[in-house]
């Protein structure tokens, strides 16, 4: 039996607050904490340093991204360790990740739907008064417009739920992403500009959102800030399956796609 | 209605399937089960492994299965692959130790077999077991059925 740390009757959660850390580094940190820590963690990364495309574990570049423009503009493409869809993230994205032991929340089963539902309720509390928040299928939405994309990874005794929140975004960046064939019903085939919304139009400031998230977590955990120097270790890629796709991989995907479509691959 | 229930229970008995009192999440007799919801079918030193009906029901529609390479060594209780469902990857843990001798490549094009046929066409790997004694630590179908009921009742 593993004894988990408790304070004031609530399980402990370590809080790591980051600013503009590269998303690949954040993903490596998350996997390492998932697989080799027995503590509960919340990681908040306020923005990332440059635009990156991040696909889920089963993502196929030819189906999800506009390879020609991605190759032309040298946009990094990452395949992450969790499930779910494709996002493009940049300094307008706020990342919030929970890494928990399976018994951290009483009565919560460590399966996709219960985790989605629990986090949905947490963010409903966070965003109370700022907009008509919904958990729409597996997205966070205001009305019918998505502002937060979710993904999870579940192991024998622990789980990760991570979210990329669209505080703000550049519509030009969204053009790198195709409309996925596997999309939620409520999307109704809408293009990105009609499907998404910006949190900045609803919430007064980034810090308001972050502070309210931490406060809401305090209803379930005893939150303890941990300095990033104690956890960030860019050289430690143990347990890291999240990978940056190489240019060669992207070029091969582009060539195969052109062959399949019987069009000439333009050198980019 | 009573006649249909009687017929259903006779078919279940013939197919050696038990259904829970609530009528969902089946188990198959003669398989062994891990508390992480994988099943194993033993034939000599060969073991076929998959995830249970309880697991696929709770995970949702499986859209991708990450399979190990043939020749990989697996260890009882440790993860060897993953399934993707909804937005989650979920580890699959091996109920036995040994060497992977075959993987179900049908799952590359039809991952939904894990949902539709969890105990049959949805099998995931075949293992040449290194220690048949490990099977003693696994649950039989009755004990696993009770385990699932207790787990669901806690939440």
B88-93 and A145-154 beta bridge pairing = parallel
pLDDT at residue B24 greater than cutoff 70: no
Distance, in Å, from the CA atom of B60 to the CA atom of B82, rounded to the nearest integer, reads 14
pLDDT at residue A147 greater than cutoff 70: yes
Q: pLDDT confidence of A3, banded at 50, 70, 90? A: low
Q: Would you tell me how many other CB atoms lie within 10 Å of the CB of residue B43?
A: 8
Sequence-ordered list of residues with C-beta below 8 angstroms from that of B131, at least 6 positions apart, any chain? B76, B96, B97, B98
Q: pLDDT confidence of B20, banded at 50, 70, 90? A: very low
With CA atoms as reference, the chain B residue closest to A59 would be B64
pLDDT, average across residues A67-86:
97
Question: Measured between CB atoms, which of B36, B87, B154 is closest to A83?
Answer: B87
Q: How confident is the model at residue B18, as a pLDDT?
A: 46
A84 interaction partners in chain B (CB closer than 8 Å): 86-88
Distance, in Å, from the CA atom of A228 to the CA atom of A43, rounded to the nearest integer, reads 10
Phi and psi, residue B24, nearest 5°: -135, 175
Count interface pairs A-B at CB distance under 8 A: 76
Q: How confident is the model at residue B5, as a pLDDT?
A: 45
CA distances from A225 to A6, A41, A264 (A): 15, 10, 54
Distance, in Å, from the CA atom of A54 to the CA atom of A56, rounded to the nearest integer, reads 7
pLDDT, average across residues B54-71:
97
Q: At what angle do helices A206-217 and A112-126 cross, to 10 degrees?
A: 120
Distance, in Å, from the CA atom of A62 to the CA atom of A59, rounded to the nearest integer, reads 9
Distance, in Å, from the CA atom of B80 to the CA atom of B66, rounded to the nearest integer, reads 9
pLDDT at residue B23 greater than cutoff 60: no
Q: Does B154 touch chain A (CB under 8 A)?
A: yes
B106 in helix, strand or coil? helix
Q: pLDDT confidence of B11, banded at 50, 70, 90? A: low
B58 interaction partners in chain A (CB closer than 8 Å): 109, 111, 113
pLDDT at residue B110 greater than cutoff 50: yes
pLDDT at residue A51 greater than cutoff 90: yes
Q: How confident is the model at residue B3, as a pLDDT?
A: 47
Query: To the nearest whole number, what is the mean pLDDT of chain A?
Result: 93
pLDDT digits (tens, 9 = 90+) for A177-202: 998 888 888 988 888 889 999 999 99
B82 interaction partners in chain A (CB closer than 8 Å): 57
User: Shortest CA distance to A162 belongs to which of A44, A59, A253?
Assistant: A44
DSSP string of A93-122?
Answer: EEEEEEEEETTSSTT--SSHHHHHHHHHHH
Contact between A116 and A123 under an 8 Å Cβ cutoff? The reply is no
């Amino acid at each position: 039996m593993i004894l988990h740390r408790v304070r004031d009757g609530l399980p402990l959660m370590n809080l790591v607050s980051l600013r503009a850390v590269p998303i690949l580094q954040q993903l490596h940190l998350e996997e390492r904490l998932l697989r080799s820590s027995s503590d509960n963690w919340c990681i908040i990364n306020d923005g990332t340093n440059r635009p990156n495309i991040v696909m889920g574990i089963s993502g196929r570049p030819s189906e999800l991204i506009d390879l020609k423009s991605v190759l032309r503009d040298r946009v990094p493409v990452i395949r992450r360790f969790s499930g779910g869809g494709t996002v493009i993230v940049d300094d307008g994205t706020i990342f919030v990740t929970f890494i928990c032991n399976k018994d951290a929340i009483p009565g919560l089963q460590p399966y996709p739907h219960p985790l989605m539902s629990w986090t949905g309720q947490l963010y409903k509390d966070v965003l109370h008064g700022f907009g008509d928040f919904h958990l729409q299928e597996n997205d966070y939405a205001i009305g019918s417009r998505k502002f937060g994309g979710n993904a999870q990874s579940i192991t024998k005794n622990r789980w990760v739920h991570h979210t990329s929140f669209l505080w703000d975004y550049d519509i030009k960046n969204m053009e790198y992403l195709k409309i996925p064939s596997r999309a939620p019903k409520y999307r109704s085939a809408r293009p990105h500009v009609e499907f998404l919304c910006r949190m900045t139009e609803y919430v007064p400031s980034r810090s308001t959102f972050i502070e309210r998230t931490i406060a809401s977590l305090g209803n379930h955990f005893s939150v303890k800030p941990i300095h990033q120097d104690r956890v960030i270790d860019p050289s430690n890629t143990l347990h890291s399956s999240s990978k940056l796709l190489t240019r060669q991989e992207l070029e091969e995907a582009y060539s195969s796609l052109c062959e399949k479509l019987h069009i000439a691959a333009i050198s980019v | 209605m009573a006649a249909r229930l009687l017929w259903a229970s006779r078919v279940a008995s013939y197919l050696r399937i038990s259904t829970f009192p609530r009528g969902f999440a089946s188990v198959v007799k003669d398989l062994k089960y891990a508390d992480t919801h994988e099943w194993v079918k033993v034939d000599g030193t060969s073991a076929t492994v998959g995830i249970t009906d309880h697991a696929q029901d709770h995970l949702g529609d499986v859209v991708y299965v990450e399979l190990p390479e043939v020749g990989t060594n697996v260890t009882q209780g440790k993860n060897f692959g993953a399934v993707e469902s909804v937005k989650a990857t979920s580890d699959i843990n091996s109920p036995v130790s040994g060497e992977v001798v075959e993987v179900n490549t049908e799952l590359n094009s039809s991952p939904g077999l894990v949902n539709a046929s969890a105990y049959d066409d949805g099998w995931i790997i075949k293992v040449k077991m290194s220690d048949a004694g490990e099977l003693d630590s696994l649950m039989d179908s009755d004990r696993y059925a009770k385990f699932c009921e207790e787990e669901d009742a806690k939440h």
